[in-house]
């Protein structure tokens, strides 16, 4: 063999080897491409976003589920149960005419694009099919030759795996329609506020034009709308060429398309707190659309009432701005349904810490918790409506009333309606700290996981923090005959079953206490902001230092709560619950009730079942005979009817001293020691009391009270077996507290009559 022959053989061998190597590399590339393509060949879409509308159909917000760090203005992605035929035909007419014939990549379109691009056309030609666009939208990447090849391979794999119908429906779920809207179903709602099935040919043609360039064909801009209209006309022409639209339909569709006006942009309400509230509720899964293909949320909020409530609050807080009042929050709930009609988080979002939603901020509730203590006491039989409560100086406990005065003997109706602190703290002692603390937790007033002793008796007057929404929800239980239920923010909300937390009897009694304007005297004057020309139950509250001012009220239509205060928790000057909050609530309720100046509406709350109204002497709790001075109408069970008043004097021994000073007739002392009954009424037996080392010595004392029947001139107090003080039995005695266990007893001087000993531990 010659040298030349050997060289030719060597070159042929090299050529074959190169060819084999290239073929192998090509096969490997195809295999690798196929592996990557089939790994990507899945139909993926973000979670459908929700559109939220108020109870009258006004737009509130739309909710994206993108992660916070990457959240963009991308909305929609609503699934389709199938691509509507008219939508499908219009889309394919512009985006992929040979969709039914190719395997995911259109060879003719590829060749045409290569030819035009190779000739250097200024306007480059694309060849992306529906399947290729899906691949790109699911895995965005730079438009390089390699990435385009991968898109094509993925498109073929998608077509093989899912079929054309599923791909078209998925494309119509993903494709952008501008202004953050993705998917034809969302775009139909976003731009035309109608379901996709109701779109006209003109609207379909317009929307089908947008995906090619959503920015250039922005429907919310006149120039973008005009571009989309021109391209939509091309879609109609193609549909007519295909015989999808007849001549009459075509003419009508072209006419309507040319007259389409710029759609109104969906705008959030002026109150950002409402939009933020619903976004949080949706993202937390508390509101979930019932239909994934139409994920709208129908909120209970009435934006018109919301705006009006905010407007009134801004106006009516004005006179108190000079006293330090800066912010207000309002919550309005419909009776019966518990629908939240308005939730004003602040009245100045951009200043005075208005970005905080004060309906959801923990604050001191002042006296607004007192109705629940009375309801609990009535429920447990601790008090009855005809019992007399003492509003007298307590000394050792350091409790005083807001006005610095004391009203003496009061019916529970008066004690609550006048918001007296001393009767409330005494009632808390009787009910028990732990019992009351647990009850307030059960009705949702608080979620504090701490011992009740941390709050002590001050729990009755505002030391236990709560939120306006929790407070209004708890008051709705009083308004709904003792049934507690969730506040409702949307039709799509999953609600827990109502639970009974109070009997109908207790709830209606407390409602009658709170709705009695006569019972509020003298603390709340007649015909002020706390009186209405229709039946309203209300309770005000003011925290220490005037940091928070509250009112919660309910009429036959709604429950309303109003808070006024400062974002920095600073003090105000004499801004109480009966001032600014009461004025705001009064104005809003009047508008809801539809009353004008001078109007009076009939109606009253339902009476407690099984009780009858009777006239009671306000200072004795006895049936009135016409000569006992002030009287009130009280609801009494027939088998608990009190005795007829024999005199105008109070009957509780602890009130006799006060009664004498006020000019009441007091029974003469008894002279028969054997008939005298002595009972230590304060402190309670086996109680544990915490002394406060930081408290002044004149307040760090224990009050000693005795009940003596019939009355005597004097008694002797014994502490740990030793005489401590001789006193009038109607007057309290104050013993300086010392740590340790102690025994207290009341005796008659120089006689054998004595009370049972009471043991107390001071810590």
Domain ranges of the chain: 50-259, 309-575+587-593, 612-655+657-661, 668-762
pLDDT of residue 630: 82
The most confident of the ranges 182-186, 452-456, 665-669 is 182-186
When pLDDT is averaged across residues 215-229 and rounded to a whole number, the result is 95
Token pair belonging to 647: 């005199």
- Residue 500 clears pLDDT 70, i.e. is over it: yes
- Residue 125 clears pLDDT 60, i.e. is over it: no
| Spatial CB neighbours of 538, under 8 Å, sequence gap ≥ 6 | 514, 515, 530, 551, 552, 553, 554, 582, 585
Decide which of 222 and 265 is more confident.
222
711-743 confidence digits (pLDDT tens): 788 899 999 999 899 888 888 888 988 889 999
Contact 613, 634 (CB under 8 A): yes
- Residue 690 clears pLDDT 60, i.e. is over it: yes
pLDDT confidence bin for 664, thresholds 50/70/90: low
- Residue 69 clears pLDDT 50, i.e. is over it: no
pLDDT confidence bin for 111, thresholds 50/70/90: confident
- Residue 143 clears pLDDT 70, i.e. is over it: yes
pLDDT of residue 719: 94
Contact 280, 343 (CB under 8 A): no
- Residue 70 clears pLDDT 90, i.e. is over it: no
pLDDT confidence bin for 395, thresholds 50/70/90: very low
Looking at residue 117, the DSSP 8-state letter turns out to be H
When pLDDT is averaged across residues 12-41 and rounded to a whole number, the result is 65
Span of 80-84, 225-229, 272-276, 358-362 with lowest mean pLDDT: 80-84
When the candidates are 1.10.3810.10, 2.60.40.10, 3.40.50.720, 1.10.340.30, the CATH number that belongs to 50-259 is: 1.10.3810.10
- 649 φ, ψ (degrees, to nearest 5): -90, 145
- 298 φ, ψ (degrees, to nearest 5): -100, 95
Question: E strands within 77-221?
Answer: 181-182
- The CATH code of domain 309-575+587-593 reads 3.40.710.10
Span of 198-207, 453-462, 552-561 with lowest mean pLDDT: 453-462
507-526 confidence digits (pLDDT tens): 999 999 999 999 998 888 88
When pLDDT is averaged across residues 81-88 and rounded to a whole number, the result is 86
Decide which of 428 and 402 is more confident.
428
pLDDT confidence bin for 668, thresholds 50/70/90: low
pTM for this model (two decimals): 0.81
Residues forming a β-bridge with 53: 59, 298
Ranges of H-type helices in 614-701: 656-661
- 418 φ, ψ (degrees, to nearest 5): -85, -5
336-366 confidence digits (pLDDT tens): 999 999 999 999 998 889 999 999 999 999 9
Looking at residue 757, the DSSP 8-state letter turns out to be P
CATH 3.30.720.200 fits 668-762, yes or no: no
**Exposure string for 151-166, b = 16+ CB within 10 A, e = fewer:** bbbbbbbbbeebebee
Q: How far is Cα 259 from Cα 202, in angstroms, rounded to an integer?
A: 9
436-494 confidence digits (pLDDT tens): 999 999 999 999 988 888 898 889 988 999 999 999 999 999 999 999 999 999 999 98
- Residue 658 clears pLDDT 80, i.e. is over it: no
In which region does residue 60 sit, left (phi positive, over 0), alpha (psi from -120 to 50) or beta (all else)? alpha
How does the average pLDDT of the chain come out, rounded? 87
- Residue 122 clears pLDDT 50, i.e. is over it: no
Measured between its terminal Cα atoms, the distance across the chain in Å is 120
When pLDDT is averaged across residues 629-642 and rounded to a whole number, the result is 91
């Amino acid at each position: 063999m010659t040298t030349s022959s050997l060289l030719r053989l060597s070159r042929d061998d090299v050529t074959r080897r190169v060819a084999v190597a290239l073929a192998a590399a090509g096969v490997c590339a195809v295999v690798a491409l196929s592996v990557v393509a089939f790994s990507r060949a899945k139909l993926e879409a973000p979670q459908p976003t929700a559109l939220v509308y108020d109870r009258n159909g006004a737009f509130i917000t739309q909710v994206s589920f993108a992660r916070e760090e990457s959240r963009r203005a991308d909305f929609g992605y609503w699934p389709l149960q199938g691509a509507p035929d008219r939508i499908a035909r219009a889309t394919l007419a512009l985006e992929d005419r040979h969709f039914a014939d190719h395997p995911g990549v259109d060879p003719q379109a590829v060749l045409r694009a290569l030819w035009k691009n190779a000739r250097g056309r200024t306007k480059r030609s694309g060849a992306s099919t529906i399947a290729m666009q899906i691949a790109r939208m699911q895995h965005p990447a730079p438009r390089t030759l390699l990435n385009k090849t991968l898109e094509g391979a993925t498109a073929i794999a998608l077509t093989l795996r899912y079929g054309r119908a599923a791909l078209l429906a998925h494309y119509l779920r993903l494709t952008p329609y501008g202004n953050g809207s993705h998917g034809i179903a969302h775009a139909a709602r976003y731009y035309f506020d109608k379901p996709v099935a109701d779109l006209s040919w003109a609207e379909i043609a317009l929307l089908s034009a947008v995906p090619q360039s959503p920015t250039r064909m922005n429907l919310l801009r006149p120039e973008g709308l005009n571009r989309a209209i021109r391209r939509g006309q091309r879609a109609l022409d193609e549909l007519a060429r295909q015989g999808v639209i007849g001549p009459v339909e075509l003419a009508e569709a072209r006419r309507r398309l040319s007259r389409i006006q710029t759609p109104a942009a969906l705008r959030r309400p002026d109150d950002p707190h409402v939009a933020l509230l619903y976004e949080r509720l949706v993202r937390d899964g508390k509101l979930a659309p019932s239909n994934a293909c139409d994920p709208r949320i129908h909120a209970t909020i009435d934006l018109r009432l919301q705006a009006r409530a905010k407007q009134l609050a801004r106006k009516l807080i004005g006179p108190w701005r000079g006293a330090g009042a800066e912010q207000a929050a309002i919550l309005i709930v419909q009776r019966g349904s518990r629908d939240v009609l308005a939730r004003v988080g602040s009245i100045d979002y951009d200043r005075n810490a208005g970005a905080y939603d004060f309906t959801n901020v923990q604050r001191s509730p002042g006296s607004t918790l007192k109705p629940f203590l009375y309801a609990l006491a009535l429920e447990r039989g601790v008090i009855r409506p005809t019992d007399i409560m003492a509003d007298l100086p307590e000394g050792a406990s350091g409790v005083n009333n807001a006005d610095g005065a004391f009203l003496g003997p009061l019916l529970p109706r008066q004690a609550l309606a006048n918001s007296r602190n001393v009767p409330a703290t005494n009632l808390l002692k009787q009910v028990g700290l732990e019992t009351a603390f647990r009850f307030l937790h059960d009705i949702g007033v608080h979620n504090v996981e701490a011992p009740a002793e941390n709050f002590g008796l001050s729990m009755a007057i505002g030391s236990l923090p709560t939120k306006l929404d929790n407070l209004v929800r708890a008051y709705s239980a009083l308004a709904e005959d003792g049934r507690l239920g969730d506040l409702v923010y949307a039709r799509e909300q999953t609600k827990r079953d109502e639970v009974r937390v109070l009997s109908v009897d207790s709830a209606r009694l407390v409602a009658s206490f709170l709705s009695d304007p006569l019972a509020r005297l003298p603390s709340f004057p007649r015909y002020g902001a706390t009186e209405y020309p229709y039946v309203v139950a209300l309770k005000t509250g003011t925290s220490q230092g005037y940091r928070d001012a509250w009112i919660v009220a309910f009429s036959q239509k709604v429950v309303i709560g109003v808070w006024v205060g400062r974002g920095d928790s600073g003090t105000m000057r004499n801004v109480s619950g009966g001032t600014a909050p009461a004025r705001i609530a009064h104005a809003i309720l009047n508008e809801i009730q539809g009353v004008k100046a001078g109007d009076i509406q009939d109606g009253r709350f339902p009476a407690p079942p099984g009780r009858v109204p009777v006239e009671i002497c306000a200072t004795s709790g006895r049936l009135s005979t016409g000569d006992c001075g002030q009287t009130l109408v009280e609801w009494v069970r027939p088998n608990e009817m009190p005795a007829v008043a024999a005199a105008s004097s109070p009957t509780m021994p602890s009130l006799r001293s006060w009664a004498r000073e006020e000019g009441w007739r007091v029974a003469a002392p008894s002279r028969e020691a054997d008939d005298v009954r002595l009972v230590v009424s304060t402190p309670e037996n086996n109680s544990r009391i915490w002394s406060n080392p930081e408290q002044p010595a004149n307040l760090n004392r224990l009050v000693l009270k005795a009940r003596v029947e019939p009355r005597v001139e004097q008694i002797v107090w014994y502490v740990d077996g030793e005489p401590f003080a001789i006193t009038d039995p109607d007057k309290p005695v104050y013993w300086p507290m010392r740590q340790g266990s102690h025994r207290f007893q009341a005796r008659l001087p120089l006689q054998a009559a004595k009370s049972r000993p009471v043991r107390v531990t001071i810590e």
